[in-house]
A and B are shown apart, each in its own frame.
Chain A
Amino acid sequence: MIEIKDLHKSYTMGNNSLHVLKGINFNASEGELVSIMGSSGSGKSTFLNILGMLDEADEGSYFLDGVPIKNLNEKIAANYRNQFLGFIFQSFNLINYKTALDNVAMPLYYQGKKRKERIEKSMHYLEKVGLADWATHLPNELSGGQKQRVAIARALASDPKVLLADEPTGALDTKTSYEVMQLIQEINDEGKTILIVTHEPDIAQMTKRIVNLKDGLIIDDVLVPKPVRAASHV
């Protein structure tokens, strides 16, 4: 599903060049649930941004489902993001003047789907995350956990190949974090490939594979023998 070879990325800040990714090799096949760990400054966010086509690598190759991701202009990047990827953010990033339903429908709008279809699909995914009753509520009427579940429904709405979650539980308390992880695990059980950036070991233990980044290199890539089921903590 994801094939990455020798990925490099530098940022120029004034006169200093900051080499953030120093040759990353990474593969993920379909149905994997991978956590990417590392201290701040390890390059994990940059790595995720490149995976998410929000940023482009300087060197190296990146194939997503066999499609080479390089030399993208903004329009193509936008279309690829829309088709291939679903994003889940630490701070949810819901549009605050739109209802839960409309937020979920947003990627479908950019796919050019008709309103009726958008509403049907969005409703389906809201049901899936257990928030069908909250469809007409605005984000500020929802709890943190509910917001994250709306965001997950939104990420799923366009039926992407890969879900990218950037610290999805970072803004939630432990109990709510586990509820969100339970949902993520359930989605993974249905065969969706999911990548999670996190620095919480207990969250990482709930994934099937842990990749450790340090100073722009993968220092450690291990399978979790027996992932913890989040449901058991809820």
Chain B
Amino acid sequence: MFNIERWQEIFETLRKNKLRTFLTGISVASGIFILVILLGFNSGITNGVRSQFERDATNKISVRTGTTSKGYKGLNPGRNIQLYNEDYSNLNDKYAAYIEHKTAVTTIWGGQVTYQNQSGNYRVEGANPDMQFIENASLLNGRFINAADIHESRKVAVIGHKVQQDIFKNENPIGKNIAIYGIKFKVVGVYSDPGGERENAKVFIPITTFQMTFNGGNRVRSIVYTFNMDEDLDVAVAASTAFSSLLEKDIKNKYSVAPDDRSAVRVYNTLEESKKIYSLINTIRAVFWFVGLGTIVAGVVGVGNIMIIVVKERTKEIGIRKALGATPNAIIMMILQEAVFITTLSGLIGLITGMGLLEIVSPLVDSDFIKFPNVDFNTAIITLSILIIAGVLSGFIPAYRAAKVLPIEALRNG
């Protein structure tokens, strides 16, 4: 491989056959180019979908209620099922071992929030301190709701990043009073949520304050948990699915809801959903690799094909070389190295062009589902190894044929 003389010999051959070299190279370069673009977009899709899921904790389980759609135990359909504080605390006690974070939620959709002469309509939610982790929110400023706020029903609020921008502009909101439907709350924190603008346009207040202030009684709109995750995704999914069905059964029992009534009690399990999405992503990745490798195989077969023609075309030359003292090994290495050199060089060109294009296109892609398409170092190394192996494979059969050329046959007065 590191025989300089042989490389000189190969470069000379390639230089003398520029068109052939060029055409051979193009098939491999385009194969790798397509593979890189596909893999880049695959990572873009993965990034995009992942960021969609980062909106909330991935192990979130939420319980919501609605109206019954079926009669059960002599009760008519159309009953409204309502959760109460008591349900929340009962479930908390019963399933303490499974639960990581917990909150009950009450909501005002599009509540009017005012600061001085600026106002806007935002979703106002009464929540427990754990809401921060369930929402996957990070604090930009100040603090989140704490246990004391809940206990003392303090009139404090944590506002989203978007709310701050809208009504506070550049002012520091901490310690300032905002009015929600005219009732004053003190801003104690500003959060940011990776889930996008809508998730950043909310105001959280302690649930106890919410229930007192907005005539909520002891009613709760939903109960949200995160689940103690097992390291193994499959185990975690199974456990959380089991947990959510227990929750569902408990509540349905308590309110006499038909076990198959899906509209009265809904338990939504993010982990289960995210597992589906991740398996979708894996499928997409597999398909992309398959298509990409297929393209490379086509390129490699192309190189092999051309090398076979090359060997045929050079039969006489190979015969001459053998008559002059070329060993079969020397001939094999000559053809093999030529094939490896062409595939590797043109593959590198395809790789660099593909990565370059992704580099240019990546910042321009503006879609929720495709973010930062790129190819990481590992993938690049893998593709490179594929290339070299492909080069060896594509060169092997032609090289073997070349080694079998009989000098007498090749030289017969042709």
Binding site for B on A (CB under 8 A): 49, 52, 54-55, 74-75, 78-79, 81-83, 87, 89-91, 93-95, 97-98, 102, 106-107, 109-112, 114-115, 154, 158
**Given A54-B408, A81-B323, A158-B325, A97 and B9 contact (CB-CB distance below 8 Å):** no
CA distance A130 to B317 in the complex (A): 25
CA distance A95 to B411 in the complex (A): 12
Q: Are B5 and A154 in contact (CB under 8 A)?
A: no
Query: Is B367 close to A, CB under 8 A?
Result: no
CA distance A64 to B407 in the complex (A): 20
**Given A55-B408, A89-B411, A93-B411, A78 and B325 contact (CB-CB distance below 8 Å):** yes
Query: Is B90 close to A, CB under 8 A?
Result: no
| Minimal Cβ-Cβ distance residue in A for B6 | A109
Residue with the highest number of chain A CB atoms closer than 10 Å, among B8, B327, B330, B414: B327
Q: How far is the CB of B328 from chain A (nearest CB, A)?
A: 5
- Other A-B pairs, 7, CB within 8 Å; known A78-B325, A110-B325: A54-B407, A55-B408, A75-B328, A81-B322, A91-B414, A97-B17, A107-B325
Q: Are A107 and B329 in contact (CB under 8 A)?
A: no
Residue of B320, B329, B330, B408 touching A95 (CB-CB under 8 A): B320
CA distance A87 to B165 in the complex (A): 89
CA distance A89 to B89 in the complex (A): 102
Query: Is B198 close to A, CB under 8 A?
Result: no
Cβ contacts B294-327/A at 8 Å (1 or 0 each):
0000000000000000000000110111111111
Q: Are B317 and A52 in contact (CB under 8 A)?
A: no
Q: Are B408 and A106 in contact (CB under 8 A)?
A: no
**Given A110-B330, A154-B324, A91 and B407 contact (CB-CB distance below 8 Å):** no
Residue of A75, A83, A98 touching B327 (CB-CB under 8 A): A75
Contact partners of A91 in chain B: CB under 8 A: 413-414
CA distance A112 to B327 in the complex (A): 12
Q: Are A87 and B323 in contact (CB under 8 A)?
A: yes
Contact partners of B326 in chain A: CB under 8 A: 78, 110
Contact partners of B73 in chain A: CB under 8 A: none
Contact partners of A97 in chain B: CB under 8 A: 13, 16-17
CA distance A54 to B320 in the complex (A): 11
Q: Are A79 and B325 in contact (CB under 8 A)?
A: yes
Residue with the highest number of chain A CB atoms closer than 10 Å, among B9, B316, B408: B408
Q: Are A93 and B320 in contact (CB under 8 A)?
A: yes
| Minimal Cβ-Cβ distance residue in B for A86 | B324
- The count of residues in chain B whose C-beta lies closer than 8 Å to any C-beta of chain A is 27
CA distance A109 to B8 in the complex (A): 11
Q: Are B408 and A78 in contact (CB under 8 A)?
A: no
| Minimal Cβ-Cβ distance residue in A for B323 | A87
Q: Are B413 and A107 in contact (CB under 8 A)?
A: no
Q: Are B322 and A78 in contact (CB under 8 A)?
A: yes
Q: Are A52 and B325 in contact (CB under 8 A)?
A: no
Q: How far is the CB of A102 from chain B (nearest CB, A)?
A: 8
Label chain B's interface by main secondary structure: helix
CA distance A43 to B322 in the complex (A): 23
Contact partners of B411 in chain A: CB under 8 A: 54, 89, 93
Q: How far is the CB of B13 from chain A (nearest CB, A)?
A: 8
Contact partners of B8 in chain A: CB under 8 A: 115
CA distance A110 to B321 in the complex (A): 9
CA distance A111 to B328 in the complex (A): 14
**Given A90-B413, A91-B414, A115-B5, A107 and B324 contact (CB-CB distance below 8 Å):** yes
Cβ contacts B368-388/A at 8 Å (1 or 0 each):
000000000000000000000
| Minimal Cβ-Cβ distance residue in A for B15 | A97
CA distance A49 to B322 in the complex (A): 13
Residue with the highest number of chain B CB atoms closer than 10 Å, among A78, A82, A87, A95: A78
Contact partners of A114 in chain B: CB under 8 A: 5
What are 12 A-B residue pairs whose CB atoms fall within 8 Å in the complex?
Answer: A52-B323, A54-B323, A54-B406, A54-B411, A81-B325, A95-B320, A98-B12, A109-B5, A110-B321, A110-B325, A154-B324, A158-B324
CA distance A46 to B5 in the complex (A): 34
Contact partners of B414 in chain A: CB under 8 A: 91
Cβ contacts B402-414/A at 8 Å (1 or 0 each):
0000111001011
| Minimal Cβ-Cβ distance residue in A for B4 | A115
Q: Are B322 and A95 in contact (CB under 8 A)?
A: no
Residue of A52, A79, A106, A158 touching B321 (CB-CB under 8 A): A106
Contact partners of B413 in chain A: CB under 8 A: 90-91
CA distance A52 to B325 in the complex (A): 11
| Minimal Cβ-Cβ distance residue in A for B407 | A54
Q: How far is the CB of A113 from chain B (nearest CB, A)?
A: 9
Contact partners of B17 in chain A: CB under 8 A: 97
Q: Are B16 and A82 in contact (CB under 8 A)?
A: no
CA distance A55 to B410 in the complex (A): 13
Contact partners of A82 in chain B: CB under 8 A: 324-325
CA distance A160 to B317 in the complex (A): 21
CA distance A81 to B325 in the complex (A): 5
Q: Are B321 and A74 in contact (CB under 8 A)?
A: no
CA distance A95 to B325 in the complex (A): 14
**Given A91-B413, A91-B414, A97-B16, A106 and B329 contact (CB-CB distance below 8 Å):** no
| Minimal Cβ-Cβ distance residue in B for A114 | B5
Q: How far is the CB of B343 from chain A (nearest CB, A)?
A: 22
CA distance A115 to B7 in the complex (A): 12
Residue with the highest number of chain B CB atoms closer than 10 Å, among A49, A54, A79: A54
* A-B pairs with lowest CB-CB distance, top 6: A82-B325, A110-B325, A97-B16, A78-B327, A107-B324, A75-B327
